[in-house]
Amino acid sequence: MTYKYTSTKEYIDAFPCAYRQWRSDSHCNLIHGYSFSMKFYFGTNELDVRNWAADYGGLKELKKILESQFDHTLIVAQDDPQMETFKLLQDKNMAKIVVLPKLGCEGLADMLYKYVNGVYIPELWGPGEAARLWCYRVEVRETQSNMAFREGHRGDGENLFE
């Protein structure tokens, strides 16, 4: 499905954080850092009363949420076998730990796609906006050369809460 109008919001190198892919067979299983970039694509077939697809000013709360998760944090997979060690770092005020179910650009893009469509738009912007607008693509970029995205449409009928 394509939308008549698309509006994007991009945060470039905005979220410096560290994480590791503990399941990786390469050096990615070591703690390493990135300054993540993220881009959100909002689609609609009907503009709002201001003739906008999405209200950029209304995304200030989203940026705060992203900063709380990804700005100067150590992101840890919920099944990381070294979880207790990471918790010790946090207990000693050496790291701000954020535990997430999936790591990697693909997992983060999926999580953000579901959050923006399932929670952010309906709860912060209201049911009218949730019926009119859909964030159909979320890109997460580690570096200039490494990016993954999650894409979908309201009509896909997927469960955003699983």
Per-residue pLDDT tens digits for 20-64: 999 999 999 999 999 999 999 999 999 999 999 999 998 999 999
pLDDT of residue 92: 97
Domains of the chain: 5-72+105-145 (3.30.479.10)
Instruction: Check pLDDT > 80 for residue 1.
Output: no
Strands (E) across 92-152 are located at 97-100, 134-141, 147-151
Q: Does the pLDDT at position 147 exceed 90?
A: yes
Percent of the chain with pLDDT over 70: 100
Say if CB 137 and CB 154 are below 8 A apart.
no
pTM: predicted TM-score of the whole model, two decimal places: 0.94
pLDDT tens, residue by residue, 105-140: 999 999 999 999 999 999 989 998 899 999 999 999
Give the span between the Cα atoms of 67 and 75, in whole angstroms. Answer: 12
If we measure between CA atoms, which residue out of 62, 27, 25 comes closest to residue 42? 62
